């Protein structure tokens, strides 16, 4: 009922979104490795196989190229598949299907073909899954015309973005950070769709703009809280959509604070942070009172040992230091 809330996790919000989609549209089905009887590598689809059966919760072979291609074909044939790829690292085996087929077929067919496929994948570090399961490659996909790319960080976005993605006529890639799955909170019982475009101001501020997305959002909010204790007012922007980027929200924030730091779990070289920084320089250079700062992962394969993994990816103290550096210039 309207006005009621439920206490749930990010994982639960994604599961509820999948369940909503299955109930709402008989063309929707979920496919991927271990999504069925096992309940998903991150337990997102736990229980769905029992409720919907093997026709709609489809376990696939360990072949990302094969089952992603099957999902693209199903979308072209009128279905609404949700393709789950266990980790972004494994998605590299499906790059040909995603980049050369899903992203290009509308263009190459002169608008006659659409590919309404949603591809979900886990991303990021923090669970000691080592170098082949922990990287953040969102910028690679955000580089590709023909795709929409989003990174839901909040419970509302985790539930609502999938709804909107399934209604989009073109391919959508959703990145779910592994460290968010256990995050708890209250969610409206009747939560519905939310846009898969546009950034959100998650905290108002006047001294420095902290621009981030996905798994780094809550570290950035923690950093902003610590900065407030030191008398520094930080505005936090959650990009939400990585392609297309919401330049207007970012530029409006920089025009207010005159300083910016971009936080991105990707590597610094060729990063999404580099793209955001360049856009700020192109569109808001004369608003800046200091160079745009960046906080990114160390340029190494993500280590397995916990202390090295933590050291390799952005943490709240790194964000605080970068914000103070921007203010000191």
Helix H or strand E segment including 209: strand 208-212
Burial of 169 from C-beta contacts in 10 A (0-12 / 13-18 / 19+): exposed
Is residue 177 among the annotated active site residues? no
Q: Is the peptide bond before 244 cis (omega within 30 degrees of 0)?
A: yes
Q: Which of 33, 84, 133, 138 is flagged as catalytic? A: 133
> Is 7 a known active-site residue?
no
Which tokens is 3 given? 């006005």
Per-residue HEC secondary structure of 228-287 comes to: HHCCCCEEEEECCEEECCCHHHHHHHHHHHCCEEEEEEEECCCCHHHHHHHHHHHHHHHH
In angstroms, how far apart are the furthest CA atoms of the chain? Answer: 60
Rg of the chain on CA atoms, in Å: 20
Identify whether the C-beta of residue 59 lies closer than 8 Å to the C-beta of residue 86: no
Catalytic: which of 33, 64, 265, 309?
Answer: 64
User: Which residues form the catalytic set?
Assistant: 64, 133
């Amino acid at each position: 009922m309207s006005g009621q809330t439920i206490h749930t996790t990010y994982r639960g919000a994604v599961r509820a979104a999948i369940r909503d989609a299955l109930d709402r549209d008989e063309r929707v089905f979920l496919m991927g490795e271990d999504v069925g009887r096992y309940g998903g590598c991150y337990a997102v689809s736990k229980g769905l196989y029992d409720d919907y059966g093997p026709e709609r919760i489809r376990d696939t072979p360990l072949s990302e190229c094969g089952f992603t291609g099957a999902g693209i074909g199903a979308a072209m044939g009128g279905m609404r598949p949700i393709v789950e790829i266990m980790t972004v690292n494994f998605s590299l085996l499906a790059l040909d299907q995603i980049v050369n087929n899903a992203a290009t077929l509308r263009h190459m067919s002169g608008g006659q073909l659409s590919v309404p496929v949603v591809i979900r994948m886990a991303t990021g570090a923090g669970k000691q899954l080592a170098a082949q399961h922990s990287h953040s490659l969102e910028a690679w996909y955000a580089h590709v015309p023909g795709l929409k790319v989003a990174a839901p960080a909040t419970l509302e976005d985790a539930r609502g973005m999938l709804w909107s993605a399934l209604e989009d006529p073109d391919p959508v890639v959703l990145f779910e950070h592994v460290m968010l799955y256990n995050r708890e909170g209250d969610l409206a019982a009747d939560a519905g769709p939310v846009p898969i475009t546009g950034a959100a101001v998650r905290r108002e501020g006047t001294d420095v703009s902290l621009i981030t997305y996905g798994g780094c959002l809550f570290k950035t909010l923690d950093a902003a809280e610590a900065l407030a204790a030191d008398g520094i007012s930080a505005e936090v922007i959650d990009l939400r959509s990585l392609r297309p980027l919401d330049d207007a929200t970012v530029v409006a924030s920089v025009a207010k604070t005159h300083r910016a730091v971009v936080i991105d779990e990707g590597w610094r070289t060729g990063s999404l942070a580099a793209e955001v920084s360049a856009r700020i320089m192109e569109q808001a250079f004369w608003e800046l009172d200091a160079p745009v700062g960046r906080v990114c992962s160390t340029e190494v394969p993500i280590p397995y040992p916990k202390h090295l993994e933590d050291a390799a990816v952005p943490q709240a103290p790194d964000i605080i230091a970068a914000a103070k550096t921007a203010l000191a210039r």
